[in-house]
Amino acid sequence: MTKDYQSFFQTSKDYSLNNIDSMKKLHLYFACCATLYLAACTQNPSSPKQTEEVSADTPSSTPEKTAESATNLNFEHFGSFDLSTWTKRPLPQGDDEDDFTTEAFIYEKEGVTLEISESEGEYGRIKFYELKGADGKVQKVRSLNFNNDVLEAEEIVNDYTVEPGKKYTRTQKMATSTFEMKSIPTKLSGAWGQGPADELQK
C-alpha cells in the first residue's frame, strides 16, 4: 500500500473520534508525505486484526441498501436505529475539492444524536457514524472504509459504553473499485477482531 493511501485510511480512523466539521481536512492528507502520515497515526497503534480473511462478494450480490437510501440501520456492535422517527438536519460543509466530495447529516431524538458523514474520491469512500448520548458523551463510533488502491474494505466499531472500551475490526477484499460497484455495501461480512478501543480525543 502506498504512503498516500495509508494516510487516507489512517486519517479516517483518527477522524472518527473528531468533530464531523473537520471532514474537509481529510483531503489534505491525500497528498501528504511520510512525515504527515506519521503525525496522523492513531493513539492506539495495536488495532485488532480480523481473524479470518473473507473473499469479496460481487457488488450485485450484496443485499444491503445503499447508505444514502437506508432509514433503518442495523449494524453489529453499533446498534439498530429507525431514523424515520428522528429529526434530520444537514451539517454545513465547505467547498468540495475537485476530486473529493463530502455529505454530512445529524439525526436527533430525545437528546440522543447520531452524526453520519460520507466522503468519496478517487482514493475510495469513507462512511462515519458517531453516536452521542443525551449527556453529550460519545457512546459509539463506526466507520466503513473502501480503499480503491488495494481493493480492500475495513469496518471498525469503537464501543465506549463498556469499561474498558472495546474496538471491533474486520476487513474484506473488494471485487472492484467503488466507482464500478452497482451498489455500495453498508456492512462487511466475516469474523471480527477485537481489542481495546481507541482513546477519545479531548
Among residues of the chain, what percentage have pLDDT more than 90? 53
| Residue 33 scores a pLDDT above 60 | no
Tell me the longest C-alpha to C-alpha distance in the chain.
45
CA 146/CA 185 separation, integer angstroms:
10
- Counting every residue written for the chain, the total comes to 202
Please state the rounded mean pLDDT for residues 45-66.
38
HSE, CB side, 13 Å, CA atoms: give it for residue 84: 5
Q: How confident is the model at residue 168 (pLDDT cuts 50, 70, 90)?
A: very high
Cα separation values, 150 from 34, 49, 56, 123, Å: 19, 17, 13, 10
The radius of gyration of the chain's CA atoms, rounded to the nearest angstrom, is 16
Cell of 175: 471485487
> What is the pTM assigned to this prediction?
0.69
Q: Measured on CA atoms in the order 34, 45, 151, 128, is the torsion positive or negative?
A: negative
CA 194/CA 165 separation, integer angstroms:
11
What pLDDT score was predicted for residue 99?
A: 67
Contact assessment for residue 82 and residue 71, using Cβ atoms and an 8 Å cutoff: yes
Contact assessment for residue 193 and residue 49, using Cβ atoms and an 8 Å cutoff: yes
Question: Omega of the bond prior to 164 within 30 degrees of 0, cis?
Answer: yes
Please state the rounded mean pLDDT for residues 162-184.
94
Contact assessment for residue 168 and residue 156, using Cβ atoms and an 8 Å cutoff: yes
- For residue 8, the surrounding DSSP H or E stretch is helix 3-15
Contact assessment for residue 101 and residue 119, using Cβ atoms and an 8 Å cutoff: yes
Q: Which is nearest to 176 in space by CA: 143, 156, 145, 146?
A: 146
Cell of 138: 460519545
For cell 439498530, what's the residue? 80
Contact assessment for residue 66 and residue 184, using Cβ atoms and an 8 Å cutoff: yes
What pLDDT score was predicted for residue 95?
A: 61
Partners of 173 in the β-ladder: 152
Please state the rounded mean pLDDT for residues 173-179.
93
Q: How do the domains of the chain map onto residue ranges?
A: 3-196
Tens of pLDDT, residues 95-145: 655 567 889 999 999 999 999 999 999 889 999 999 999 999 999 999 999
| Residue 20 scores a pLDDT above 80 | no
